[in-house]
Amino acid sequence: MTIYFTADMHLGHKNIIRFSNRPFKSIDEMDGKLINYFNSKVKPEDTVYDLGDFSFVNPNKYLNRLNGNIIRIKGSHDHDIKEPRMLVIKPDGLLDEYGNQISITLCHYAMRSWELSHYASWHLYGHHHGMLVPYGLSFDVGVDCWNFYPLSLEEVKKKMATLKPIVDFRLASQTVREHSAKVTSNQFDSGACL
């Protein structure tokens, strides 16, 4: 099973072709190509986190045509769902260089700070259709940024490797833990606690 992320498909939304300068002549062409691109990567057993603005019309028209287990997060045009507006996930085996679990905050909207952002957690968003530059360890996973394809977790990892956290307390925490372990070890070695 592979994890994927996407946003801002805007299926059934005619004006998005003009607003986002999409290379499609009609809604039918756009919808058909977006569905084909999606299904060319996503297999039925995969999980896809859709970060909002999935469809401008009834989403059921499209959901049964797409592969994967799609977990939707509410965007500005997703009137059929109320929650969640944000989700924090911790994919198995996703660790930083210190061996800490990386969490990913998923939201339709970009944030300047998110859960554990000062400990190098990640944030993925949509809504901006590629008009915002990445900030810290966050970036836009909307289809307009990625040639209309969803991104796999591996692709997200590669992109995150090119970014730097704005604030990173991990090194300070690691140093404190190492110092505490050394002090404790020295106390036991010298008999200070006996």
Q: Which amino acid is at 165?
A: P
Structural domain boundaries enclosing 98: 3-168
Domain count for the chain, please give it: 1
Q: Is position 176 within any domain?
A: no
pLDDT tens-place string over residues 29-43 = 999 999 999 999 999
Question: Is 118 among the domain residues?
Answer: yes
Would you give the end-to-end CA distance of the chain in angstroms?
A: 53
126 domain-assigned: yes
CATH number at residue 118: 3.60.21.10
User: Do the domain assignments include residue 104?
Assistant: yes
Per residue in 162-181, pLDDT (tens digit) is 999 988 888 765 554 554 45
Instruction: Find the length of the chain.
Output: 194
Q: Is residue 184 a part of any domain in this protein?
A: no
* Residue 167 confidence (pLDDT): 86
Q: Is residue 138 part of a domain?
A: yes
* Residue tagged 């004006």 (tokens): 15
The answer for residues whose C-beta is within 8 angstroms of residue 169's C-beta and 6 or more apart is 118, 119
Tell me, yes or no, whether 109 lies in a domain.
yes
